[in-house]
Amino acid sequence: MTTMTMEASGVSKRYGSVLALDRLDLAIPAGQVTALLGPNGAGKTTLVRLAATLARPDSGTIRIAGHDVGRSPRRVRASIGLAGQTAAVEGAMSGRSNLRLVARLYGLSRAEAAARADEVIAQLGLEEVAGRLARTYSGGQRRRLDLGASLVGRPRLLLLDEPTTGLDPRSRQELWDAIRTLARAGTDVLLTTQYLDEADQLASRVVIVDHGRVIADGSPAELKARAGQGRVEARLHRPGDAQQAAAALHPLGPPSVDPVLGRVSVAVAGDGLDALQRAADALRRADVTVDDLGLRRPTLDEVFLALTGDGVGAPVPEPGWEPGREPGWEPAHEGVAR
């Protein structure tokens, strides 16, 4: 029998008139990184809070490493580590002191706590900054320290709620590396994210949540295949060239044209690099000047559209959801028109 790190069955949670989770079912086998992907208000944080025993489901059950969150919350807490969007570390202490303090709170002796803190520092590549006050850390370093604090107790399952929100691309990459290293070393990870590329980079399984329910579940490759591959998009210097550009790009596939914004795009297969090159050649031959030419991955909205037939948040947009601000796929290279 496969060991389950987490099993949620028929889980509902209501906040006033908002049904944050609606009979959600989810089973996460041990030994993998799973991403819960969804827009603002989808219910991701609510699920993490229930799994972390910070709130109780109205109905349904959640088991973590075999322990029921309602009946055995202490056992559940001993099995998990939790890192959220806001740093839980003390800025007026060094990174090392922070981790030692957490280890002491776990009941380790002074010597054990020192040793455990150093292990975690090495695990997360924080050696160079460990002696500095945490308030002097960059956003990415602070997030890694926060992750470290959640690892001190050697959790079976690490719950990460939007771990890279607000980080710059470099810090984001560093945190991704840290998460990958942890996963390779055998920690199961459940992370929530609004970024498709984050799910793609880290997770072997992506569970898409919307309106408190699982609407799709599969490997990143499966979901991408269902959502389409992305497009080569040209932003024209002169919007009036749109028809000419469309004719030039037609051999690559049926183009979509936005004559007002002067954008022409064609769906691509594979990584799209061949199509990008062919598009550049075709546009040059047609003497169309472009301000920008690039590969554009499907946005979160487009993936939802492909998977559900609805836009994100439809039919009733959740509070806080701002159309057009979804991060979607990151640009495949610099200079992509968004």
Nearer to ligand ATP, 49 or 100 (CB): 49
Nearer to ligand ATP, 18 or 306 (CB): 18
Strand runs labelled E in 186-338: 188-193, 205-210, 213-218, 231-236, 256-258, 263-267, 290-296
Nearer to ligand ATP, 318 or 330 (CB): 318
Return the residue matching tokens 């029921």: 68
Shortest CB 141 distance to ligand ATP, Å: 23
Strand runs labelled E in the chain: 4-15, 18-29, 33-37, 59-64, 67-68, 80-83, 157-161, 188-193, 205-210, 213-218, 231-236, 256-258, 263-267, 290-296
Residues in contact with ligand ATP by CB under 6 A are 15-16, 18, 20, 38, 40-46, 194, 318-320
Shortest CB 3 distance to ligand ATP, Å: 27
Shortest CB 318 distance to ligand ATP, Å: 5
Angle at 123 between CA 122 and CA 125, to 5 degrees: 60
Nearer to ligand ATP, 40 or 123 (CB): 40
* Among candidate residues 59, 65, 55, the one with its CA nearest the CA of residue 27: 65
Shortest CB 5 distance to ligand ATP, Å: 20
Nearer to ligand ATP, 42 or 245 (CB): 42
The shares of helix, strand and coil residues in the chain, as percent rounded to the nearest 5, are: 35, 25, 35
Shortest CB 180 distance to ligand ATP, Å: 22
Q: Is the dihedral of CA 305, 308, 314, 317 positive or negative?
A: negative
- Rounded distance, CA 215 to CA 306, Å? 11
Nearer to ligand ATP, 254 or 315 (CB): 315
Shortest CB 14 distance to ligand ATP, Å: 9
